Chain A
Amino acid sequence: MTITNESDKEINSNWAVEARGLVKTFADNRAVDGVDMNVRTGTIYGVLGPNGAGKTTTIRMLSTLLKPDAGSARIFGHDIVREPHIVRQLIGVTGQYASVDETLSATENLIIFSRLLGLSRVEAKRKATDLLEEFGLTEAAKRPLKKFSGGMRRRLDLAASLIAQPPLIFLDEPTTGLDPRTRSQMWDTIRRLVKSGSTILLTTQYLDEADQLADRIAVIDRGRVIVEGTVDGLKASVGTSSLQLSIQNDKDILRACLLVENVLGVPTIMSPETRKITAPMANADLVTDLLLSLREAGIGLKEISVQRPTLDEVFLTITGHGVEPSKSNPLIGNHHEEAIQA
């Protein structure tokens, strides 16, 4: 008996999240289709995927907001379905859309959440003041949230998730829609949270963000984890950067493709409409050879550029299909551009 308890205890303290085969179906749409996930205590885990991949649904199941149709998950060893009330005492959730009360002020929001979590009137007031100060919202404390910017709302939302100092924090797309400066502030906050001993599970559409923050990432698409590993490992599997060639003459494009594949020794992706060839560039030195071969073959280049891997390339390479343009939020595309440039 004692031995089992000991080993149980060890498992509990090692893993903040253990999910097995999580499934959620909406009508005939398998939004989450058998997701496995292990998040080690004290780390940042990134869930990377395009719009509609199932990131939010996964987080909603792990945070007890949604019951899984199949599979199971444990938070610090506590089952999300059988012990939801315990799980809620261990997590802080910052959803994709701010979950704060629009009609109330920032202070009132934080006081109400604090009181709900069992703080006394005085403690709740102090907690609210401290958190607002911490997140640079003191000036706006009394204003109704309707007048808050997107970034301020996000920060308040995160502040509200930290009242009980939960050991595990879910952040669903914490920086989508933020300007670059606010984004890097959010990154700093996330890093500090982990230093204080929290575990963080965040979702993002930006490889860049996962790269900056996460210790491990899972790439999900259409409800399935398609790759899981360390950031470095994932990048290596895609090629650190990709080479893009625009060909002057339409009819040369197939020949050019073959040439690139021969010289670089990698598969390419070709798009005839834009006369563009994209190839992972594992070894930059080989590009010199490629340019010489193109000249010899008489293939004229219109443009040449090198790009760091973007989510699109990761997807193209791993799944063979690109990131579908977002239907619900046309802005995402722009942010993606911004992420590439950053």
Chain B
Amino acid sequence: MINELITPGADRQLKNHTSLGQIVRNTFTMAYRGLLKIRRTPEQLFDVTLQPIIFTLMFTYIFGGAISGNVHNYLPVIIPGILVQTVITTSIVTGVQLREDMDKGVFDRFKSLPIARIAPLSGALLADTVRYTIATLLTFSMGYIMGYRPEGGIGHVALAGILVIVCSWAISWIFAFFGVIARTASSVQGISMLVLFPLTFLSNAYVPVNTMPSWLQWFVNVNPVSHLVTAVRDLANTGTIGNDLLISLMGAAAIVVIFIPLTVRAYMHRT
């Protein structure tokens, strides 16, 4: 193959931009790479496996009696809450792993190939939706085992799961941005937790909002995580679609519109 004559550089027809089709193709190839890596190192799925199981058990039995009188009545409240919290938390790993990955030599090759510049990022983030899917399935399964029977039916539960996965994918662009600008993987973890902790706990995920002081209620009500939790509860528990779903999707879209360009720009500027 080496001995085949190559086309001289001056005789080649070349373009100085990537087409949308190429961006999509490159992204899927990069996502394939991400999946292969997950398959090679399944131990990195520990967190998405254990967290839904432990959190669901723990929070349900700790808060169940206090908040809803008993565990069974608490399940329709807590399962959507835990689902949102767990899956969004999982998306931090995306940023951390991106930071680790970018320091490896293979990223130099990606940068020297005539591919869409965004593909190494978008592919990694797309592959990570597999992690969110695992976390979603496990959380619902744990709920089911503990007696949760969502009245919205399987179709709406599936929709709720997809909504959470899509929103987490959008949020993962924030952590991808941290991943690109941070110096070390552990600092990505640190910053991301700092952002995410108040967002997920200062929400309606675990307790009814009307039990909180009024200044806190204000924050909890504008917190996009609360809207996502409510949207999931509506879908799973009653099979209804309300404003909260719309607000969640708009929030996700806003994150994507702001953070994809920011992240790609930071990625290209980094040497």
Query: Hey, which bits of chain A sit against chain B, CB under 8 A?
Result: 9, 12-13, 16, 41, 63-67, 75-78, 83-86, 88-91, 93, 95, 97-104, 108, 112-113, 115-118, 130-131, 134, 144, 160, 162, 164-168, 189, 192-193, 195-199
Contacts and interface: CB of A to CB of B under 8 A. Distances in A.
A90 B14 contact: yes
A76 B10 contact: yes
Interface in B12-49: 12, 14-18, 22, 25-26, 29-30, 32-33, 36-37, 40-41
A100 B105 contact: yes
A104 B104 contact: no
User: Which of A41, A118, A164 has the most CB atoms of chain B within a 10 A radius of its CB?
Assistant: A118
Given A99-B107, A196-B6, 20 more contacts: A9-B10, A13-B11, A65-B271, A85-B16, A85-B17, A88-B114, A101-B37, A101-B104, A102-B104, A112-B29, A112-B32, A117-B114, A118-B25, A144-B40, A160-B109, A162-B2, A165-B4, A189-B2, A192-B2, A192-B3
12 contacts: A78-B14, A85-B16, A89-B114, A90-B14, A95-B105, A98-B105, A99-B112, A102-B106, A104-B37, A104-B40, A165-B4, A195-B3
A89 B113 CA distance: 7
A116 B115 contact: yes
A198 B5 CA distance: 9
Given A66-B271, A85-B17, A91 B2 contact: no
A101 B26 CA distance: 17
Contacts of A197: 5-6, 8
A11 to B, nearest CB: 9
A321 B16 CA distance: 44
Contacts of B10: 9, 12-13, 41, 76-77
B243 interface: no
Given A65-B112, A113-B113, A104 B3 contact: no
Nearest to A92: B112
Contacts of A75: 9
Contacts, number: 133
B245 interface: no
B7 interface: yes
A241 B160 CA distance: 78
A196 B3 CA distance: 5
Nearest to B22: A118
B151 interface: no
A165 B108 CA distance: 18
B111 A90 contact: no
Contact of B2 (A13, A99, A100, A196): A196
Given A88-B114, A112-B32, A93 B108 contact: yes
